Structure 1
Amino acid sequence: MRTFFWAGLACLATFGAAQAQDTSVVYPFDGSFDDAAFSVENAIIGEGLVIDYVSHTGEMLNRTAGDVGSDVKLFEAADIYVFCSAVVSRKMMEADPMNIAQCPYGIFVAERAGEVMVGYRTYPDGPMQDVQSLLDDIAREAVGLD
């Protein structure tokens, strides 16, 4: 869980660079942060999945900025929804048990400079593309593209 948290944090903290490096897929959301969060929750649950944890990464970054010597506000709000899929996880770990390092999965909702976004990190080619497809379906559902 800690590894995922730091990976998600790095993804959020470097949003602009992450897009350029193809390490994440991000969709704009036409609405408020709270509406996007609600939509992501519903899309995850709609897939029959259970949200294991919500990381309030934006709150943590804002709360600890001064403690780490920064005055930069990265996000107005940012949460990461952490969950897993027994079906997809089994398939990708049967292909390679070391794919356990890729679990759990997460979708983030963030607001920065007045823009609300929904996204997820990308995964390597091969069996992990089933995970990426699942995340893309959820993210697209949440932003109203499906």
Structure 2
Amino acid sequence: MIQGVRTAVAVFAVSASVAAAQDATTYTFDGTFEDATFAVENAIIGQGLVIDYVSHVGEMLNRTGADVGSDVKIFDAADTFIFCSAQISRKVMEADPMNVAHCPYGIFVTDREGAVTVGYRNLPDGPMQDVQALLDTISREAVGE
């Protein structure tokens, strides 16, 4: 019985990991991390939006690894740009006020051993697809598509 439970837990853990990986859309950036963050910043501003905050996730993970008992370096660098669109946010929240759960919006840039990626979290079907379309437009522009 215990072996069956362990197997079920292992299968669930692998399934959850695969599902989590599918919860984001990513694009490969041909260039440096610094160039990618600059491109994302410009693409956001180019949409007439204001960046509220840049979260330096990679720095935080590298700084706190030893504090939590880990020596694993996940990213060489990772930043998330946080912003909102008054127009689109109003539209999606008028459709469903609980869409506030998805605001503000974020686009991330990561560098893992020289592989630079730009991406965003996938959003639910329905009105939030307007936001996802904006995130995709910005991400594609940043990577030169």
* Alignment correspondent of 1:91: 91
Displacement after TM superposition at 1:19 (Å): 7.4
* Alignment correspondent of 1:120: 120
RMSD across aligned positions (CA): 1.2
Q: Partner of 1:140: helix, strand, or coil?
A: helix
Q: Percent identity?
A: 70
Q: Which structure has the larger Rg?
A: 2
- In structure 2, relative to structure 1, the CA distance for the partners of 1:48 and 1:19 (3 Å cut) is farther
- In structure 2, relative to structure 1, the CA distance for the partners of 1:18 and 1:138 (3 Å cut) is farther
The number of residues matched between the two structures is 129
Query: How far, CA to CA, are the matches of 2:22 and 2:65 in structure 1?
Result: 27
Displacement after TM superposition at 1:53 (Å): 0.1
8 Å contact kept, 1:19–1:25: no
The one-letter code sitting in structure 1 at the alignment partner of 2:72 is: V
8 Å contact kept, 2:109–2:117: yes
Structure 2 unpaired stretches of 5+: 1-16
Structure 1 unpaired stretches of 5+: 1-16
TM-score normalised over the length of structure 1: 0.86
Q: Partner of 2:45: helix, strand, or coil?
A: helix
